[in-house]
Amino acid sequence: MGLLNKINGPQDLKKLKRKDLTSLAKEIRAFVLETVARTGGHLAPSLGVVELILALEYVFDSSRDRIVYDVGHQTYVHKILTGRRDIFPTLRQYGGLSGFPKREESVHDAFNTGHSSTSISAALGFALARERLGEDYRSVAVIGDGAMTGGEAFEALNQAGHLGINLLVVLNDNEMSIAHNVGALSSYLSRLRADPFYTKRKKELESIMKRIPSIGPSMVNAVERLKDSVKHLFVPGMLFEELGFTYLGPINGHNIQELIEVLNKTSGMQGPILLHVLTQKGKGYPPAEQNPDVFHGVGAFNLQTGQVLKTPGPPTYTGIFSDTIVELAAGNNKIVAISAAMTGGTGLSQFAKKYPERFFDVGIAEQNAVTMAAAMALQGLRPVVALYSTFLQRAYDQAVLDVCLQQAPVVFAVDRSGIVGEDGPTHQGAFDISFLRHIPGMSIMAPKDEEELRHMLYTAFLHSVPVAIRYPRGRGIGVELTAGYQELPWGKGEVIARGKDVLLLAVGAMVYPALSVRKILEDCGVSSSVVNARFVKPLDEELILSAVRKHSCIVTLEENVLAGGFGSAVLELLAARGIVHKTLNIGLPDQFIIQGKPDTVKETLGLTPAKMAEKIVFHFCLEGKAKNKAN
């Protein structure tokens, strides 16, 4: 760590001789590896860009130049080089360094990211602000080939090429999204990659063209046409150039000297530039090189063996979804499954393997996934779109117009709903109930445990309506799994414990905690009932209203923001019926939810059973009962 220990900011990096950068890269890799093995995190993306980020920091001034990292999961090296080396070991922990760029953390973080394909739009915005305000800085987007499959990236390329503005897009091409990249663009990049002499030949071609004599305007036009057709013969597509970018590359993204030279050269060039850089995901750590998808985002692991450390426990909700959808598809050949570049994460690998002709990975294109599913459903298929709650945000309009307005029977498997943990605010599944509940024709279920998830999926396919099933990240409760499937009554909840004073109306991941709350309240002399709502929409009005009448205090519990959530739905119901009651809504507050282990985050938000029970006692002034019990 001889060199790295001296780097307290980019100013120290710039003092190094170019030849020392290779040794520094080695030290940085070791430091990233050693830290992420303990904290978990996005290892393979970061290992792949060590040289690229070193070169960017060496050439540019990241406190002034605006460098936008797409997704932002590859910024560990950037953080280490920009004054955050000492706190790097706190990565992704509660109160520690964010795993993504964060303006609040450093002036070197130009733009907060976390969701894919925004970097070119943001860099374009910075470039336009620069022109408008008469300022002088470079605007750079660093985007992966996976992120390039997202529609917003194309929207921004389209605009930037049209404006001809000074902007550098660094395309970090490692042939991988989380898993192998998919799509026509990916094939196009492979062709460019396979043709390292492309740039040289392009230059030769241009000089030949210049030598062709032009006589009169019609001849000029003919020559231009000839140029175009010959260009296309040489280079299939010329996609970026046709969009108005100067294409440079492909260059070796692990050769720091070459990177620095090319980046320096771009300073003197005008207009939008696309620099195509080839890297290897997981570079320098054999287990990550061999399994870049496993090490894309990884938990703590054994550095020597590359073995991911796993504590034994019940199956995960994702695992249950995975098994169930395969089983259901066996009995219904109309079922098709769609993933947006998250086949493994959402549990669709098994389905993809078993039913390759019924599986579609659209790339990082949630909007495309949902609209496509809508049309498939309208033609009689039964698509399930499996997305993380946070990424479903991207396809809100498609859920409204393409799915619900047309009543297309699409099943949304909304994974990672609620608190997700170390990825922090950009990845919490905090909003899905709120942004789905108000869409006419949408139904929403949330299972209390993994067994109920199975029955909910089964039930969803028995109904020809749009339906979202939201379930949390991580392991189930550990309940016994039955062999068959059971149709759950549509729009009906269940009473799972009876009492007198307090009614605990819980949904999804809050049902078991509600039972724990009940136990704590009972110990305090407060009797309560627990209802598992099962459906957020349609709400089981009959059950809720009859239960409300029997209790003096009503509490709703959910892992969703309170605004527009399940509790809101209950309050709306009571208001519509003119019922005035003592109520308390428990859920996520009106703020972005911080990173940290889920239990720690819940503790901070007052969402552990003990804290919730305390809140209930305090809110309804039930201390008297507690005291009586004690006496």
Ligand X SMILES: Cc1ncc(C[n+]2csc(CCOP(=O)(O)OP(=O)(O)O)c2C)c(N)n1
Closest approach of Cβ 201 to ligand X, in Å? Answer: 27
| CB nearer ligand X, residue 166 or residue 390 | 390
Structure tokens at 479: 């309940």
CB of 152 closer than 8 Å to CB of 175: no
Residue type, position 161, single letter = G
Is omega for the bond preceding 538 within 30 degrees of 0, making it cis? yes
List CB contacts of 567: < 8 A, sequence separation 6 or more: 556, 557, 558, 585, 586, 587
Position 587: which residue type? G
Cα gap 145→153, rounded to integer Å:
11
Structure tokens, 489: 């009554």
Encode burial over 146-162: b for 16+ CB neighbours within 10 A, e otherwise. Answer: bbbbbebbeebbebbbe
Residue with smaller CB distance to ligand X, 278 or 488: 278
Cα–Cα distance between 77 and 52 in angstroms, integer? Answer: 10
CA distance 94 to 600: 7
**Which of 51, 57, 366, 559 is the catalytic position?**
366
Dig out the tokens for 54 from the structure.
């070193």
The least distance separating ligand X from the CB of residue 393, rounded to whole angstroms, comes to: 8
Helix (H) or strand (E) run with residue 566 in it: helix 566-576
Query: In whole angstroms, how close is the CB of 292 to ligand X at the nearest point?
Result: 8
Helix (H) or strand (E) holding 495: strand 494-497
Classify the C-alpha dihedral 11-16-22-24 as positive or negative. negative
Give the Cβ contact number of residue 10 at 10 Å. Answer: 20
Active site residue 366: yes
Quote the least distance from Cβ 128 to ligand X, whole Å: 23
Query: Catalytic: 394?
Result: yes
Amino acid at 285: Y
| Closest approach of ligand X to the CB of residue 370, in Å | 12
Q: How far is the CB of 284 from ligand X (least distance, A)?
A: 14
The residues pairing with 337 across neighbouring beta strands, listed in sequence order, are: 359, 384
H or E stretch covering 12: helix 10-15
Judge residue 223's burial from the number of C-beta atoms within 10 Å of its C-beta, 0-12 exposed, 13-18 middle, 19 or more buried: middle
Minimum distance from residue 159 beta carbon to ligand X (Å): 19
> Least distance from C-beta 69 to ligand X, angstroms?
10
C-alpha–C-alpha distance, residues 429 and 435, integer Å: 11
Residue 375 CB, shortest distance to ligand X, in Å, is 21
Full DSSP string of 67-117: EEESSSTT-HHHHIIIIITTTGGGTTSTTS--SS--TTT-TT--S---STT
454 is catalytic: no
Q: Determine the Cα–Cα distance for residues 13 and 3; give it in Å rounded to an integer.
A: 9
In whole angstroms, give the CA distance from residue 392 to residue 435. 10
Tokens representing 349 are 């690998």
> CA-to-CA distance for 491 and 413, rounded, in angstroms?
18
Q: Cβ 497 to ligand X, closest distance in Å?
A: 39
DSSP designation for 410 = P
Is residue 429 within 8 Å of residue 414, measured between CB atoms? yes
In the chain, the N- to C-terminal Cα span, in Å, equals 64
Binding site for ligand X (CB under 6 A): 45, 48, 70-71, 73-74, 115-116, 144-147, 172, 174, 176-178, 281, 296, 340-342, 364, 366, 391, 394
Which of 339, 340, 508 shows the shortest CA–CA distance to 418?
A: 508
| Number of C-beta neighbours around residue 379 at 10 A | 8
Instruction: Give the three-class secondary structure for 241.
Output: helix
* Residue of 84, 102, 283, 394 marked catalytic: 394
CA distance 109 to 67: 8
Cα→Cα distances 356→141, 193, 333, 375, 435, Å: 35, 27, 12, 20, 32
Distance between CA atoms of residues 295 and 32, nearest Å: 13
CB of 70 to ligand X, least distance (A): 6
Task: Supply the residues annotated as catalytic.
Answer: 281, 366, 394
